[in-house]
Structure formats: C-alpha cells, structure tokens
C-alpha cells in the first residue's frame, strides 16, 4: 500500500526540493516576481465525475503530478506538498469522487483532477479554479521563492549560439538537491542533447509536465559555461513555456 504520508519523510528532504515541490516553493504571485502569463489547457466545459475505489497511486521523485487510478481511469492530481498542505491523503483502497477535466493539448490522454472528495471521510479538496488553472500556482511567494539556496547563481552566461530541436525525452533528471532539472532529448537524427531547464515551479505554473517518452521542442542556447546547453523555451502539445530570454537571462528573476 502506498500512501503520501509514508513517502513524504523522503520528500520532506526535498522541500529544499529546489525545483519547488514544497510549500515554500510554490508559484510566484504578484509579490513574487514576474513570469509569463498562463492559460489553462483543460476543457473545463467537458467536466466528468469519476467515482470508485483507488486501485493505484503513482508517485516518485521528479514527478510533477502524481496520478491515481479510479475505476480503471488514470487521473493526474496535484503536487504532493499541496495535497499535504490541504490535509488530503490518498491511498489505495480509498473511495473517491473526482471531478476531472480532459486536456486539450495534443497527445495528452490524461484527465486532470479539479476537485476530489473522499466519500468515506468526507474530506474535500479543490485543486483548480473555474478556468482550470492550478490553485497551487496562484499563491504569493517571497522574493526568490522556490529557487533554493544558491539559485541566484544561475546568472546568465554568455550565449554563443541559439538553436531549436524537436525530439523525444529520453530522461528527466530531477531530485533532492537538484535546483535545475535537466532533460535528455533524442532528436530525429538520433543525437542526444542534455539540456538544463529551470526551477520546476515554472513548468508547474504552466501546467506542463515533462517526462520520459514525451515528444517536445526545445529552443536552447549554447553557453560559454563549458558549452552547456540551457533551455530558453520548451513546447509540448502546443503549450510553450519561456524559461530564459535570448540573452540567457532567467525569466524567474
């Protein structure tokens, strides 16, 4: 049996989880700096309710959205820290009623939970607003919220060149102490590119999950820092998130 409270002693170490899956690493609000305006990619006019017993809970390091299986339907929920903050536990065997919306993004077959009710305990949690935007990205944060110690060190290096590549994600590197996750992209030509991303909260705020097997496009810069590749923008299923300007300057500063 997998429960959030059994896994979280490990995840708590990550609340430095510099890529921001901790209560202090939530989205940037008006007081927390600027980031690109986001719009929901969920079809909120096509809400459906899934009721039944939870038969699986999938959660692990680097997973932006844990997922649950109810009545053979896989539903993505919310960052673990948000569920804990709302005192909403999910484990196999729980009976839930989940109001969920499908994604409008190409190639995304998942349902996304909008609100959930444990029909046994009557616990209830709301995850998204009426427009489908995640509530965890709408809270204010202090200056530099979610960057973690030393994150300011991500000052822009000199940009030597800029390119855009499309391909399939081979691997996403994320975990405790990793302030800047990276992905390995396999291009159509078979080339493997290791590209540094940015604080994971930027992807969370955009409701964009990146995982192995995803097809996406990355605009990146080759920098003067040992030829390191850093993502300027990432596009998946028609959704684009800007991480840095063409000069390499972080969008979260």
Mean pLDDT over residues 20-49, rounded?
A: 55
Residue 146 covered by a domain: no
Q: What is the CATH number of the domain that holds 35?
A: 2.40.50.140
Q: Which residue has the higher pLDDT, 21 or 85?
A: 85
Mean pLDDT of the chain: 75
Q: How far apart are CA 237 and CA 105, in angstroms?
A: 5
Residue 204 covered by a domain: yes
Provide the 10 A C-beta neighbour count for residue 217: 14
* Residue finishing a domain among 137, 169, 188: 137
Residue 145 covered by a domain: no
Work out the pLDDT band at 53, boundaries 50, 70, 90. very high
List, for residues 198-252, the tens digit of each pLDDT value.
Answer: 887 777 778 888 888 999 999 999 988 767 889 999 999 888 999 999 988 888 7
Range of the domain at 123: 4-137
In contact, 67 and 58? CB cutoff 8 Å: yes
Residue 142 covered by a domain: no
Q: Are residues 121 and 203 in the same domain?
A: no
**DSSP H/E element including 234:** strand 229-236
Residue 96 covered by a domain: yes
Work out the pLDDT band at 34, boundaries 50, 70, 90. very low
* Residue finishing a domain among 99, 115, 137: 137
Residue 206 covered by a domain: yes
In contact, 41 and 35? CB cutoff 8 Å: no
Q: How far apart are CA 154 and CA 55, in angstroms?
A: 42
Indicate the pTM of the whole model: 0.51
Domain count, the chain: 2
100 pLDDT higher than 70: yes
In contact, 252 and 241? CB cutoff 8 Å: no
Q: How far apart are CA 134 and CA 128, in angstroms?
A: 4
């Amino acid at each position: 049996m997998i429960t959030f409270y059994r896994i979280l002693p490990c995840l708590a170490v990550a609340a430095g989880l510099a890529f921001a899956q901790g209560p202090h690493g939530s989205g940037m609000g008006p007081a927390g700096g600027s980031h690109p305006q986001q719009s929901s990619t969920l079809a909120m006019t096509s809400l459906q309710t899934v009721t039944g017993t939870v038969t699986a809970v999938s959660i692990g390091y680097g997973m932006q959205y844990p997922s649950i299986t109810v009545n053979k339907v896989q539903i993505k929920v919310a960052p673990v820290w948000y569920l804990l903050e709302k005192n909403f536990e999910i484990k196999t065997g729980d009976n839930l009623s989940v109001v969920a919306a499908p994604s409008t993004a190409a190639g995304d077959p998942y349902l996304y939970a909008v609100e959930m009710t444990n029909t046994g305990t009557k616990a209830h949690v709301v995850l998204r607003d009426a427009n489908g935007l995640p509530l965890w990205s709408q809270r204010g944060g202090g200056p530099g919220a979610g960057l973690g110690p030393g994150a300011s060190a991500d000052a822009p290096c000199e940009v030597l060149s800029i390119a855009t590549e499309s391909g399939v994600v081979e691997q996403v590197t994320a975990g405790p102490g990793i302030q800047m996750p990276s992905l390995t992209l396999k291009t159509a030509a078979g080339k493997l590119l290791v590209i540094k991303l940015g604080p994971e909260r930027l992807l969370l705020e955009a409701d964009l999950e990146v995982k192995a097997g995803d097809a996406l496009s990355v605009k990146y810069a080759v920098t003067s820092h040992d030829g390191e590749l850093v993502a300027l923008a990432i596009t998946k299923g028609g959704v684009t998130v800007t991480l840095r300007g063409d000069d390499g300057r972080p969008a979260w500063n």
